[in-house]
């Protein structure tokens, strides 16, 4: 009797557990369990995942939202920069059949279902590398709203190209872009638009070592190709270079080198080793400084402001060196070429000798005036 009741009670509890399990699965999330087959129309052949869900012959509109969490690693030599973003796309697919028991405003779908649904063929036009974040879980999700709108959000790390112009380097302001374009659909089938409420969000804590993010905005970059018009959207970052580094590492040292080369003007002409060593050392140091200022830049064919500044400083140092060569030639022309006695008469006598040997000089009339008294005494 006890054994029969035990078996009956075991079967009862087993049946009760089965009902509870079914009930829990039926209440799993708002609206119950949603299967992929529940989204498909009654005739699955009516759904073509390769064709955009055009309504009334109008192109499908996809709304974009970009959240920029970081901009860093701006490389002037390779003309690239790195950006961490949240990239969101939303579109309406009226071909989907929503279940009747969907009570909430949206449902979280399995991301793998996107492989069997139509989604925009957007790609990053100026990207050199795209890294999908997988720590600690794959950083993407799909939402389905009651109005058949699908939202796809993904976190990416992008290495993007940025065409830079260094004509006014290091006083330049660069514009780096993040471009998103359709790969295979023209504007007759697919159009990209920015979200009307918040199309772009940029983090306030973005800090770059050599640039200031002075401005960012969204724009349209749709282009006309031979095969048609392909929709395109872009985010533009305006980066203004900071002058602090170049002020203390380029401008001030270079100016001090030029001033140091002028010290040779106060050194006696007889001290040839000191004057020559100072001039040559200044010239070589300035050349090294110029090469250092160009190390982080690609070799460009146009002249930059930093080139004009360094070239002007080089000319000043070179002229300071040439000044001693000129003085050495003028004072060392003959055994009695330089004045031995102090005073104005000795200087005038030395100038007279120089002018007599160089009659083409504009002040040769001084020699003629000095020669007139000598001819009268003779």
Domain CATH number, residue 116: 2.70.170.10
Residue 378: the pLDDT is 44
- 202-230: pLDDT as tens digits: 998 999 999 999 999 999 999 999 999 99
- Token pair for residue 120? 């925009």
Structure tokens at 48: 């073509």
Task: Encode pLDDT of 64-114 as tens digits.
Answer: 999 999 999 999 999 999 999 999 999 999 999 887 767 778 888 999 999
Strand, coil or helix: what is 75?
Answer: strand
* Domain edge (last residue) among 241, 267, 295: 241
Q: For residue 30, is pLDDT > 90?
A: no
What are the beta bridge partners of residue 215? Answer: 238
Considering the domain architecture, whether residues 182 and 95 belong to the same structural domain is answered as: yes
pLDDT digits 0-9 by tens, 31-42: 457 788 888 888
For residue 283, the enclosing domain spans 245-331
User: What does the mean pLDDT of the chain come to?
Assistant: 83
What 8-state DSSP symbol labels residue 315?
Answer: H
Instruction: For residue 47, give the 3-state DSSP assignment.
Output: coil
Is the pLDDT at 370 greater than 60? The verdict is no
Asked if residue 143 and residue 110 are part of one domain, the reply reads: yes
Question: Do 126 and 190 belong together in one domain?
Answer: yes
pLDDT in tens, 278-306: 989 999 999 999 999 888 899 999 999 99
The verdict on 119 and 194 lying in the same domain is yes
pLDDT for 346 equals 53
d(CA 295, CA 257): 20
Q: Do 231 and 166 have their domain in common?
A: yes
Give the residue from 331, 348, 369 where a domain finishes.
331
**Boundary (domain end) residue, out of 224, 241, 258:** 241
Residue 10 lies in a domain: no
Are 95 and 217 in a shared domain?
yes
64 and 117 co-located in one domain: yes
Q: Is the dihedral of CA 343, 349, 355, 358 positive or negative?
A: negative
Report yes or no on 52 lying in a domain.
no
pLDDT for residue 239 is more than 50 = yes
For 145, counting Cβ atoms within 10 Å of its Cβ (0-12 exposed, 13-18 middle, 19+ buried), the class is middle
Considering its fold, how many domains does the chain have in total?
2
Mean pLDDT (whole number) for 327-332: 77
- Could you tell me if residue 93 is inside a domain? yes
Same domain, 231 and 251: no
């Amino acid at each position: 009797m006890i054994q029969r009741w035990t078996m009956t009670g075991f079967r009862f509890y087993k049946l009760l557990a089965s009902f509870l399990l079914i009930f829990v699965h039926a209440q799993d999330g708002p609206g119950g369990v949603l299967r992929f087959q529940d989204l498909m129309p009654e005739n699955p052949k009516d759904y073509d995942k390769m064709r955009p869900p055009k309504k009334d012959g109008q192109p499908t509109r996809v709304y974009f939202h970009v959240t920029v969490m970081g901009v860093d690693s701006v490389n002037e030599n390779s003309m690239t920069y790195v950006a961490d973003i949240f990239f969101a796309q939303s579109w309406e697919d009226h071909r989907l059949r929503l279940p009747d028991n969907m009570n909430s405003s949206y449902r979280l779908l399995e991301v793998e279902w996107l492989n069997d649904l139509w989604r925009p063929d957007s790609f990053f036009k100026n990207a050199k590398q795209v890294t999908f974040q997988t720590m600690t879980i794959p950083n993407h999700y799909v939402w389905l709203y009651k109005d058949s709108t699908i939202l796809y959000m993904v976190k990416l790390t992008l290495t993007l190209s940025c065409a830079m112009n260094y004509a006014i380097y290091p006083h330049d302001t660069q514009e780096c872009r993040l471009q998103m374009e359709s790969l295979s659909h023209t504007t007759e089938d697919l159009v990209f638009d920015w979200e009307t409420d918040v199309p772009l969000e940029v983090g306030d804590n973005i800090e770059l070592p050599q640039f200031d993010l002075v401005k960012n905005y969204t724009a349209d970059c749709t282009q006309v190709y031979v095969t048609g018009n392909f929709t395109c959207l872009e985010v533009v970052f305006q980066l203004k270079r900071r002058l602090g580094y170049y002020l203390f590492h380029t401008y001030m040292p270079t100016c001090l080198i030029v001033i140091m080369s002028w010290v040779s003007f106060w050194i006696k002409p007889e001290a040839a080793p000191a004057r020559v060593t100072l001039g040559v050392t200044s010239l070589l140091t300035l050349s090294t400084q110029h090469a250092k200022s160009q190390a982080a830049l690609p070799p460009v064919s146009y002249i930059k402001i930093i080139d004009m500044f360094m070239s002007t400083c080089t000319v000043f140092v070179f002229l300071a060196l040439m000044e001693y060569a000129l003085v050495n030639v003028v004072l060392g022309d003959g055994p009695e070429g330089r004045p031995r006695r102090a005073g104005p008469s000795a200087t005038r006598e030395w100038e007279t000798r120089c002018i007599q040997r160089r009659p083409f000089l504009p002040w040769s009339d001084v020699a003629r005036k000095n020669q007139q008294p000598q001819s009268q005494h003779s």
